Chain A
């Protein structure tokens, strides 16, 4: 697209099958293969689903505020908590991490795009189709109602008669394909496309964590795919996989689900770890303490994460030996996690801490995640876990980990990278309000759940009863009410962020090129970056390359002296821009292919003819893709002279 020697409008003579080169307006977004545009689209869609999932959570808390709640029926409540979890995990957390990864990973390693730009677009569109299919079920007979873990046999056709589970299975399959393609793409990008000089141990920690996450996805997604396929065959084609009267074992589902499900937990949290491992050093003006330890602890969390799945099943009747082994493995995983927390604290130790909004959220993560981690250790003790599992204590634990950990990390990322992506600063004052409301709301919502759980209130109950509430300080009534009030404070906190975004968008003032005195390569270009990211591919000599181009350390006194400003470095790059940069062209095929896949999926619910149509579209678009070169050819363009003979192009390649 940046090729200036080619004519700029797409060939009219090819009619409807012309290639979308140099598109404008909405087409520019619909057919784009640019990792930055896709990253922004990922972010917008994921945030929308965050709001949807949040509203579902508020409904749940409203229902539970008082005993025998009547806001939702039992059926609607079951759908609500199922979809809340599914939405937050698959439609918010994973794609939001994908948004950050898509946008910043090529920038951090000094690449012009990801390895497979069209596959990248396909990932996004597949994720969107998956999300829409999942949520379409609300309007087509009711959403899935078996919990996000969807244990068999409760997910079978008799026990969950609406189409909700079918939509859920399909939505997750499609979103799963999206993640799988995305993860292969990002791994190849990181391994193959780093800037010269950037060895693996000079890579930013965010990139490292994303790399670990993608490996987790590549090896865990096929397992859930198998589980979902078995469930789909049972529901739609009468297979017997979870039919106990045929001798089936319901624990098969649990094993398959959690072999995926536990690595998934790290898929959710590691990107946030990566983000704050960028933010904490930047705002402490110190490199990350123990970089190799943080990297290896991340990798070992990922590895051990594959060996602890059965700690979700301590009550399901595994033998004592398995329970003991998984209990020990679970404790073992606490060690690398602890290492990370210590390293973050030691990064700040001796630093020069600037409490910006991004830094506040990052510190919020360190503190809140530690609470979640410690409550996690209490149920690594398997016997103790048999009292806690499936109670609100677990809900408290994983919300501290996922909300206090992951969401705070993502918000830290929003504040840190907003000027990079949009060229404008988010308002720091509103950011502070946003932070405090979220911290207070989050602790009021999830803190009391520790008490509720230890007092014996199970999860997933559409009502709780006075008769089992007890009295005094620990009574369920009071703490349920506190938790519900807290959830609305939390919602107000998120609202502050939305207001901040709206305000910032209206603001005309441009952000400085290096507002945070940052450390990594993504700041070595304009904000927002140009289509081709870097005018010149940087050559890397240090971890935190950008910082070391700005500051020089005195060998003896260790005093840091600033030798250049970020702005000047960016200008210098612009002046030395490469002459001839080819970028991949936009394409219809990713969008069309994902539509085909969605139609194919719908066919499983609504009948074979629709499936056939979907399959034809999939075949057509995948071969159309194969036959289309990634960079546009001369025939795709109109010649600049509008003399009416543009169709007769002599050379057809």
Chain B
């Protein structure tokens, strides 16, 4: 049987579903508005289900409900939480989606707690029993829920603080925070007199301090280097400089990187400033490497010289669509030290033109290996 309370919420669900679909069809399917309306539908459905589940707080239909309601409920702050959630939702619609999602969560949490509280208050004339009933219905979600919120709050604010300060002070702050936690723990454990109120005061203050610092850090933004790195994308393939010199980021700290050692078609060596190659199944050194079109193929580069070298593949030139400028096509490995090796994986979609054959070269060494794509 559907109770009056749940009817209201199910009605809300239906209405918001319809308007969400209309909104998607008529206005914009990927807009925040549609998400908002779906969110509203979801929370309506959930609260409606809770109301149905607890029969609007009526345990007994009929004669037994009399008397139960006369005991009255305990004072509840859930309506306020619920209202606060609604306010957050509205604010979120106007501002950022994070606030909106937070609002939905508060709305659902408050609504569920409210209806359970309401139901438990009317469950019987026995307050103790009512508390038991409430606990059975809701504590299974309260414990993990609160614990998760606690974890989230600490992790979020702590990470904001470390993100805002310089890279060097991050570990120091981390040590300080961890030590503080340990010290407080040891102090409380060894001084039994410090228990009780003081513990609560200390922890509340600590969390407030963390939240304050975190909020401040979040508002002031991440440290400068991170913003720069994010904007410039240092490691993007288009930033590779394939010359003889080390480039700032691409060659930074990357001397001995080997990837997939198995399955290389050919190995290109530099020895005494000269380039030569060996290929699978071929007995002699080769000056041409054939690789199938459009097939990811790996070629290994092995530097046998004392100075650092890198392998460069030249794949003709092409017009850049955006600018219309003709640019060289190709890529390179990182600088490789003596007796180190690196692998280059290539996928070449077209054969070379006669004017611009493909080749492998090593800046600073003589000789080239022809690359044929049949």
> What residues make up the interface of A, taking CB atoms closer than 8 Å to B?
12-17, 244-245, 247, 249, 609, 613, 616, 619-627, 635, 644, 647-649, 652
Q: Are A648 and B140 in contact (CB under 8 A)?
A: no
> What residues make up the interface of B, taking CB atoms closer than 8 Å to A?
38, 42, 53-55, 59-60, 64, 119, 123-126, 128-129, 132-133, 136-137, 139-141, 143-145, 148, 259-260, 262, 296, 298, 343, 345, 347
Given known contacts A247-B260, A621-B140, is B59 in contact with A13 (CB within 8 Å)?
yes
Q: Are A647 and B140 in contact (CB under 8 A)?
A: no
A-side contacts of B128, CB under 8 Å: 652
A-side contacts of B125, CB under 8 Å: 647-648
17 further interface pairs, Cβ-Cβ under 8 Å (given A15-B133, A647-B123): A12-B59, A13-B59, A13-B123, A13-B133, A14-B133, A15-B55, A15-B119, A15-B123, A16-B54, A245-B345, A247-B298, A619-B145, A620-B140, A622-B144, A644-B64, A648-B126, A652-B129
Q: Are A14 and B136 in contact (CB under 8 A)?
A: yes
B-side contacts of A15, CB under 8 Å: 54-55, 59, 119, 123, 133
Q: How far is the CA of A245 from the CA of B349 in the complex (A)?
A: 13
Q: Which of B42, B54, B60, B119 contacts A609 (CB 8 A)?
A: B42
Q: Are B123 and A648 in contact (CB under 8 A)?
A: no
Closest chain A CB from B151 CB (angstroms): 13
Q: Are A16 and B53 in contact (CB under 8 A)?
A: yes
Given known contacts A16-B55, A245-B347, is B141 in contact with A635 (CB within 8 Å)?
no
Interface of B is mostly: helix
Q: How far is the CA of A15 from the CA of B343 in the complex (A)?
A: 68
A649's nearest neighbour on chain B, judged by CB, is: B129
B148's nearest neighbour on chain A, judged by CB, is: A619
**Shortest Cβ-Cβ A-B pairs, 8 listed:** A624-B140, A647-B124, A623-B140, A620-B141, A619-B144, A15-B59, A17-B137, A648-B126
Q: Are B296 and A616 in contact (CB under 8 A)?
A: no
Q: Are A17 and B136 in contact (CB under 8 A)?
A: yes
Q: Which of A247, A609, A623, A648 contacts B143 (CB 8 A)?
A: A623
Given known contacts A14-B133, A648-B125, is B345 in contact with A247 (CB within 8 Å)?
yes
A319's nearest neighbour on chain B, judged by CB, is: B262
Closest chain A CB from B263 CB (angstroms): 8
Interface of A is mostly: helix
Closest chain A CB from B252 CB (angstroms): 21
Q: Are A647 and B42 in contact (CB under 8 A)?
A: no
A-side contacts of B119, CB under 8 Å: 15
Q: Are A627 and B139 in contact (CB under 8 A)?
A: yes
Q: How far is the CA of A626 from the CA of B136 in the complex (A)?
A: 11
Q: Are A245 and B38 in contact (CB under 8 A)?
A: no
Q: Are B259 and A247 in contact (CB under 8 A)?
A: yes
Q: Are B38 and A609 in contact (CB under 8 A)?
A: yes
B-side contacts of A623, CB under 8 Å: 139-141, 143-144
Q: How far is the CA of A1 from the CA of B235 in the complex (A)?
A: 66
Closest chain A CB from B1 CB (angstroms): 13
* CB<8 Å pairs between A and B, sample of 9: A12-B60, A15-B55, A17-B133, A245-B296, A627-B139, A635-B132, A644-B64, A647-B124, A648-B125
Which of B123, B136, B259, B343 has the most CB atoms of chain A within a 10 A radius of its CB?
Answer: B136
A-side contacts of B148, CB under 8 Å: 619
Closest chain B CB from A402 CB (angstroms): 34
B135's nearest neighbour on chain A, judged by CB, is: A627
A-side contacts of B132, CB under 8 Å: 635, 652
B-side contacts of A16, CB under 8 Å: 53-55, 137
Closest chain B CB from A332 CB (angstroms): 27
A249's nearest neighbour on chain B, judged by CB, is: B260
A-side contacts of B144, CB under 8 Å: 619, 622-623
Q: Which of A13, A620, A625 contacts B124 (CB 8 A)?
A: A13
Q: How far is the CA of A247 from the CA of B129 in the complex (A)?
A: 63
Q: How far is the CA of A54 from the CA of B42 in the complex (A)?
A: 41
A624's nearest neighbour on chain B, judged by CB, is: B140
Closest chain A CB from B281 CB (angstroms): 14
Q: How far is the CA of A652 from the CA of B54 in the complex (A)?
A: 21
A-side contacts of B262, CB under 8 Å: 249
B105's nearest neighbour on chain A, judged by CB, is: A612
Q: How far is the CA of A132 from the CA of B124 in the complex (A)?
A: 41
Closest chain A CB from B171 CB (angstroms): 30
Which of A619, A635, A644 has the most CB atoms of chain B within a 10 A radius of its CB?
Answer: A619
B-side contacts of A613, CB under 8 Å: 42
B-side contacts of A621, CB under 8 Å: 140
B-side contacts of A13, CB under 8 Å: 59, 123-124, 129, 133
Q: How far is the CA of A534 from the CA of B58 in the complex (A)?
A: 44
A-side contacts of B298, CB under 8 Å: 247
